[in-house]
């Protein structure tokens, strides 16, 4: 029976998982190398916003110990590693945080421990990288240790609900690991737990996000085809989706976030993957397409010293997360053209450039408004946008605008 779990990495996935386990009665040691984050958490300050997280913190805090140091006094039974896996400039999975986390864990291992990797990794990492690093401790996986790979599946903005209700794929080394791991996740997961081997579980994670990326690329290509033929792609897609086996995704200004724009690269790291790479290229090219249209508009409308308002920095609606956001690339490309850009976002903070939070102020001084993210606040204030020159990349429902997928 697992009583004490050490969650390594208190980020977007590690922290909610740690608190869910604590709420369900586990003693949770929350380990992170980031001293600032740990001292914030010790004081009860949450490092990011997520629906229900503050309440969950209250429910779990009595059994949650954030720390920058693991000690024998913690009596840890299981380690759950949820550290980031960035990608290198040549689009490879950078395992440097995973390796360093596993090495830290290896120093503290005891016979009977379970180690679970949750970070998204290229197929084979658990068996080829994690297992040997753990075994450098002198303990053997399968004899002294249990080893599992369980990917997270939660979507930012609805993380807690999805962590509890989604099915999980549990990749395991052996039967004993299957038993221990499913027992642990059953504490808070109400969805089904599907047991398989570690490499299959790693691959499934990448396939989920690649499926979405390829489908978004299809929607983006359809947007270009429809707009060039004077049709509205949003209507075409809506009608195509009336077919019971068709689910075309939504076109847009590009794919952001730290998963869908990244994970397909891990899947094709050692493969040709022509379709997957083409989808990536299509989606990566979207910000440029938006900016080229805006440049044309400035010319045709003969606007001198155009002032642009960019609405939305977050990569998707109603979250405070700007990672890989297409809005950042749009901003960057506009600035390269020496255009004056004011940025608005109600949620994103701590960027190296100013972000206006008063919508009216931004709109008042703009010649062209680009909607890059469909935050609810924009949809709720469409009247403020009426009569203005709006380039809508998300189909927020304006009566008059230049709409991606219809007008460009």
Q: Coil, helix or strand for 5?
A: strand
Residue 172 or 216: the one with the smaller Cβ distance to ligand SAJ is: 216
Contact at 8 Å (CB) between 337 and 362? no
- Contact with ligand SAJ (CB under 6 A): which of 133, 231, 250, 303? 250
Work out which of 70, 155, 218, 377 binds ligand SAJ, going by CB under 6 A: 155
Cβ nearer to ligand SAJ, comparing 177 with 325:
325
Q: What is the DSSP annotation of 182-236?
A: HHHHHTT--S-EEEEEHHHHHHHHHHHHHHHHHHHHHHHHHHHHHHHTT--HHHH
Stretch of 23-31, 54-62, 153-161, 305-313 contacting ligand SAJ, by CB under 6 A: 153-161
Q: Classify burial at 330, counting beta carbons within 10 Å of its beta carbon; exposed 0-12, middle 13-18, buried 19 or more.
A: buried
217 binds ligand SAJ (CB under 6 A): no
Considering the rule CB under 6 A, would residue 257 count as an interface residue with ligand SAJ? Answer: yes
Contacts (Cβ under 8 Å, ≥6 apart) of 238: none
379 contributes a contact to ligand SAJ by CB under 6 A: no
Q: Rule CB under 6 A: which of 111-140 touch ligand SAJ?
A: 120
Q: What's the rounded Cα separation, in Å, for the pair 114 and 146?
A: 5
Element housing 58 (H / E): helix 53-60
Please identify, using beta-carbon distances, which residue of 174 and 208 lies nearer to ligand SAJ. 208
Active site residue 205: yes
Selected catalytic residue, list 23, 153, 259, 316: 259
Measured from the CB atom, the residue of 18 and 134 that comes closer to ligand SAJ is: 18
* Residue 167 near residue 20 (C-beta atoms within 8 A): no
Q: Cα dihedral angle (399, 402, 403, 405), rounded to 10 degrees?
A: 140
Q: Is 70 helix (H, G, I), strand (E, B) or coil?
A: coil
The least CB distance from residue 120 to ligand SAJ, in Å, is 6
- Give 181 or 395: the residue with its C-beta nearer to ligand SAJ: 395
208 binds ligand SAJ per the rule CB under 6 A: yes
Q: How far is the CB of 49 from ligand SAJ (least distance, A)?
A: 15
- Going by the DSSP 8-state scheme, the letter that residue 80 receives in this structure is E
Site for ligand SAJ in 302-331 (CB under 6 A): 315-316
Which of 163, 189, 260, 297 is the binder for ligand SAJ (CB under 6 A)?
Answer: 260
168 touches ligand SAJ (CB under 6 A): no
Q: How many CB atoms lie within 10 A of CB 207?
A: 14
Give the active site residue among 23, 131, 153, 205: 205
Burial of 136-160, coded b for 16+ CB within 10 Å and e otherwise, reads: ebebebeebbbbbbbbbbbebbbbb
CB of 69 to ligand SAJ, least distance (A): 28
Nearer to ligand SAJ, 60 or 257 (CB): 257
CA 397 to chain centroid, in Å, comes to: 26
Q: According to the binding rule CB under 6 A, does residue 203 interact with ligand SAJ?
A: no
Active site residues: 205, 259
User: Which residues in this chain contact ligand SAJ in the complex, by CB under 6 A?
Assistant: 120, 152-156, 208-209, 212, 216, 249-250, 252, 255-257, 259-260, 315-316
């Amino acid at each position: 029976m697992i009583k004490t779990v050490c969650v390594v990495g208190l980020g977007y996935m590690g922290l909610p998982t740690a608190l869910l386990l604590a709420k369900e009665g586990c003693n949770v040691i929350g380990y992170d190398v980031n001293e600032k984050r740990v001292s914030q958490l010790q004081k009860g300050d949450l490092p990011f916003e997520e629906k229900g997280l503050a309440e969950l913190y209250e429910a779990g805090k009595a059994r949650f110990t954030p720390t920058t140091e693991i000690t024998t006094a913690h009596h840890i039974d299981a380690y759950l590693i949820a550290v980031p896996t960035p990608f290198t400039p040549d689009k490879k999975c950078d395992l440097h945080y995973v390796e360093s986390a596993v090495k830290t864990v290896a120093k503290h291992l005891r016979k009977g421990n379970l180690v679970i990797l949750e970070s998204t990794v290229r197929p084979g990492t658990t068996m080829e990288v994690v297992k040997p690093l753990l075994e450098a401790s002198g303990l053997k996986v399968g004899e002294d240790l249990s080893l599992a790979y369980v990917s997270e599946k939660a979507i930012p903005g609805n993380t807690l609900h999805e962590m509890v209700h989604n099915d999980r794929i549990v990749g395991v080394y052996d039967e004993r690991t299957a038993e221990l791991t499913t027992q642990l996740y059953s504490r808070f997961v109400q969805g089904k737990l599907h047991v398989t081997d570690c490499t299959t579980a790693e691959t499934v994670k990448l396939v989920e996000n690649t499926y979405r990326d390829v489908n978004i690329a299809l929607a983006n290509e359809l947007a270009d085809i429809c707009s060039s033929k004077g049709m509205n792609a949003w209507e075409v897609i809506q009608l195509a989706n009336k077919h019971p086996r068709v689910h075309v995704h939504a076109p847009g200004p590009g794919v952001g976030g730290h998963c869908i724009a990244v994970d397909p690269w891990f899947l094709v790291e050692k493969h040709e993957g022509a379709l997957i790479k083409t989808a990536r290229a299509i989606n990566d090219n979207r910000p440029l397409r938006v900016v080229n249209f805006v440049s044309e508009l400035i010319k045709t409308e003969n606007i001198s010293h155009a002032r642009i308002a960019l609405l939305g920095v977050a990569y998707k609606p109603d979250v405070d997360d700007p990672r890989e956001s297409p809005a950042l690339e749009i901003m960057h490309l506009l600035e390269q053209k020496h255009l004056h850009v004011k940025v608005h976002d109600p949620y994103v903070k701590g960027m190296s450039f100013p972000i206006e939070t008063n919508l009216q102020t931004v709109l008042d001084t703009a010649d062209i408004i680009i909607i890059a993210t469909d935050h609810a606040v924009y949809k709720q204030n469409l009247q403020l946008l009426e009569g203005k020159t709006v380039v809508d990349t998300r189909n927020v429902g304006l009566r008059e605008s230049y709409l991606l997928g219809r007008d460009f």
